[in-house]
Amino acid sequence: MSLAARFELRHADFVLDVDLALPGRGVTALFGPSGSGKTSCLRCVAGLEPTARGRLVVAGETWQDSDRGLFLPPHKRALGYVFQDANLFEHLDVRRNLLFGWRRVAPVERRLELEQIVELLGIEGLLTRMPARLSGGERQRVGIARALLTSPRLLLMDEPLAALDAERKAEILPYLERLTLELALPILYVSHAPDEVARLADHLVLLERGEVLASGPTTEVLARLDLPIALADDAGVVLEGRVLGHDPDYGLLSLGLAGEQRVLLAHAPLPPGQALRIKVLARDVSLSLERQHSSILNVLPATVAEIAPTRSPAQVLLRLDLGGAALLARITRYSLERLALQPGSQVWAQLKSVAVLA
């Protein structure tokens, strides 16, 4: 683990008490309801909560250790911070905004170059524009670029898409995905949007009332039935696979999953072999004891691994084993009893191709 964070922060009406060991690259999402401590945790990592006690080690370097009286102030922590608002300097064009971050770093310590980051975030055509002439998505990409040009060892992102509409979010998400793939840089990403987490996060920390309910790979945490996240209407799992091919006549992408399973989804062509993650909502999964021939294209053999109640007495939630991958299904309690399902039951999981989200 490359990032170890233990913090205790006390306010009059809130206590943050977390102890985390996180990966040294990829995206770790801090997720939870409003008031759960997501932003407070991020501020502690940034050194913006000087009253917080604890210890923070990033890539082997200790930035804070209250027991030893060690506390690096924010400006001495090698991190970049991206807020909801890009906070650009309105009197400077985009290039000079970027150079402000780049010039803060001594030449011998620069790990990222201006041209590299400009290309990575697709802002080549924006360099001479003033911030007032940028869209919300463009402003945020420039803000991310400026943070990266400080050559941080850690990037903090606090709800960076919260102020954007759906169209602007769709515009910026591919750039964030590319950033996570091409830069060996750990990112702490705060969000309250499940779809963002499912699409971007490799590791998930679930917070509630200032405490860690769960921390682990996103695929594992989302599949747990003992967590509040499983009870949400949009509960579901993330499945990771590789593109097998594309049928241009029907616009269907074939994706290979663990255990030699495959699914078809309505999607534009992608190169064979490319990694792709999909989200399958529990409410979009139906079960059968026999393989059915119907309009549903994805019919996968599965084993019932666990059954749990939901907030509704009429429904239950099942965790299914797809031969190494986990799937959730929300069905009625009536269907559960009619099919006589229990842990170990062999079933066919049915997923509509148009309901699978990539």
pLDDT at 154: 93
Residue ranges and CATH numbers for the domains of the chain are 3-227 (3.40.50.300), 236-355 (2.40.50.100)
* Encoded tokens for 179: 């950033």
β-pairing verdict for 285-288 and 298-309: unpaired
Mean pLDDT for back-to-back runs of 10 residues, the chain (358 residues):
89 93 92 92 95 94 96 92 88 93 81 88 93 92 92 92 85 86 89 88 95 95 94 91 95 90 92 92 95 90 96 96 93 97 97 77
Residue 120 φ/ψ region, left for φ over 0, alpha for ψ in the -120 to 50 degree band, beta for the rest: alpha
pLDDT at 87: 86
Residues 252 and 172: their CA atoms lie apart, in Å, by: 24
Reported pTM? 0.90
Residues 292 and 294: their CA atoms lie apart, in Å, by: 6
Asked if 38 and 59 touch (Cβ cutoff 8 Å), the reply is no
Residues 278 and 267: their CA atoms lie apart, in Å, by: 11
DSSP string, 76-103: GS-EEEE-SS----TTS-HHHHHHHHHT
Measured CA distances, 269 to 187, 236, 264, 308 (Å): 29, 25, 12, 38
Residue type, 192: H
pLDDT at 221: 96
Residues 16 and 25: their CA atoms lie apart, in Å, by: 25
107 burial via Cβ count (<10 Å: 0-12, 13-18, 19+):
exposed
